[in-house]
Structure 1
Amino acid sequence: MLTCPLCASADTAFYHRDARREYLRCRHCALVFVPPAFHLGPEEERAVYDQHENSPDDPGYRRFLSRLFDPLRERLPPGARGLDFGAGPGPTLSVMFEEAGHPMAIYDPFYAPDASVLEAEYDFITATEVVEHLFAPGEELARLVDRLRPEGWLGVMTKRVTDREAFTRWHYILDSTHVAFFSEATFRWLAEERGMAVEFPAADVALLRKA
């Protein structure tokens, strides 16, 4: 059986199969993931993302992002510096934080691939609708936590797994670029593993604070 891409445990088991691909679940950290054999190549992945029409001029998109923006902003000191990881083709969350007085850097492997920003330290890092796309979430999230200053925040927005029956009917798995599915239990495992506190202030939102 394949090892888990989040915690590297070999204790994984079949979870679901549909017409396109299959899904495994880790018994250690509870991540549900798509095996690498079903991952898209870079060009196919980029083609899907190019269809996204996100813009800071879209009030509806801002309202969507406010589910993470509002509770995280309440917890930040004035002038806290942040990184929007996986900003996508139309960076918007970074604009919202800059408007609120927080200097921002952005990174996206396709649209803002300046890896030098991943060498700096930050008071907070956001990843909205990102972790479900990560082929190696354990490696990527460890790198982000390492870039946080003490008492820094990692804000994640992603829809969460609830149970197997709901998973089989879930629209979220229809997106071929979604390959890693977190549950509340997964975030609690991550927080404990990285020595962080975690809270869930809004739907689909997890805030993790570094010790």
Structure 2
Amino acid sequence: MTRQQCPLCEEVQGQEIYRDRPEMRHRRAYYRCDRCNLIFVLPASFLSFQAEKAEYDLHQNCAQDLGYRRFLSRLGIPLLNCLAPGSQGLDFGSGPGPTLSLMLEAAGHCVVLYDPFYADDGAVFAQMYDFITATEVVEHLRQPRMELDRLWSCLKPGGILGIMTKLSRDDAAFAGWHYKSDRTHICFFSVQTFAWLAARWQAELSILGQDVILLQKPLPPSNCRPPTQP
């Protein structure tokens, strides 16, 4: 069986684990990496940028939707519990109706936005942040290694990357998983994938429930030596 290069760890370790049924209009093959456990589809299955944006334009999420705010609070509340007053953050993949950023700003924090379709200002990556959020974003990444490493490099020591994405389980569960049916979803993370990332970054990993992930950047080691005893 031909192996494919994983877009996250970049090893040629991906084996096909599932293929959409023949009667499906847009049939895709899915590969799982033996090294980092990411599940991914090949670039030939990606939507065009125009078709991808057309899908996002259909989203009805808005800041006034209380149900949407409750959904985002699954990340927002534990993140707020970790932040110092007046923290500076980036909402990566903020979408057409930024909401989590407003919730965090209402709690006294400052948040800038980035989205490749709706707020495409690359200058945000020249700044450093106390926290970065990515809600329902990482499953859309065409180059997950590049994008995630870029976000990590923008975090201050001790900073937190907060992610919301549905976590994949075993291959049998994946076959019936509705999450893979969205054609804008092209890579799927698991507990093992985030553990691999945490080890690579030497990060502290917390997984809350089925879809909230916090990765905290380590503080640099202290160069101070304890005082010499007389």
TM-score past 0.5 threshold: yes
2:80 maps to amino acid: R
Q: Are the aligned partners of 1:68 and 1:202 in contact in 2 as well (CA < 8 Å)?
A: no
1:9 aligned onto 2:18: no
Q: CA deviation at 1:78?
A: 0.7
1:99 maps to amino acid: A
- Cα separation, 2, equivalents of 1:7 and 1:115: 24
In the TM superposition, structure 1's runs of 4+ consecutive aligned residues that sit over 2 Å from their partners are: none
Q: CA deviation at 1:15?
A: 1.0
CA deviations over 1:46-98 (Å, ceiling 9, x no partner): 01000001111110000000100011110111111110000000000000000
- Cα separation, 2, equivalents of 1:178 and 1:131: 9
1:52 aligned onto 2:56: no
Q: CA deviation at 1:182?
A: 0.2
2:86 maps to amino acid: G
- Cα separation, 1, equivalents of 2:210 and 2:16: 27
Normalised TM-score (structure 1): 0.98
1:58 maps to amino acid: D
Normalised TM-score (structure 2): 0.90
Q: Are the aligned partners of 1:172 and 1:178 in contact in 2 as well (CA < 8 Å)?
A: yes
List gaps (5 residues or longer) in structure 1.
Answer: none
SS at match of 2:31: strand
- Cα separation, 2, equivalents of 1:22 and 1:113: 31
1:174 aligned onto 2:176: no
The answer for the alignment partner of 1:147 in structure 2 is 154
The answer for the alignment partner of 1:160 in structure 2 is 167
The answer for the alignment partner of 1:127 in structure 2 is 134
Q: CA deviation at 1:2?
A: 2.0
- Cα separation, 2, equivalents of 1:161 and 1:203: 9
The answer for the alignment partner of 1:102 in structure 2 is 109
Residue number among 40, 55, 76 corresponding to 1:33 in the alignment: 40
Q: Are the aligned partners of 1:67 and 1:203 in contact in 2 as well (CA < 8 Å)?
A: no
Larger mean Cα displacement after TM superposition, 155-164 or 199-208:
199-208
Q: CA deviation at 1:10?
A: 0.5
Query: Relative CO higher for 1 or 2, CA cutoff 8 Å, sep ≥ 6?
Result: 1
2:135 maps to amino acid: T
The answer for the alignment partner of 1:66 in structure 2 is 73
Q: Are the aligned partners of 1:158 and 1:204 in contact in 2 as well (CA < 8 Å)?
A: yes
- Cα separation, 2, equivalents of 1:91 and 1:179: 22
CA deviations over 1:120-139 (Å, ceiling 9, x no partner): 10000000000000011011
Larger Rg over CA atoms: 2
Number of aligned pairs? 211
Q: Aligned Cα RMSD in Å?
A: 0.7
Q: Are the aligned partners of 1:80 and 1:102 in contact in 2 as well (CA < 8 Å)?
A: yes
List gaps (5 residues or longer) in structure 2.
Answer: 219-230
Percent pairwise identity: 53
Q: CA deviation at 1:202?
A: 3.2
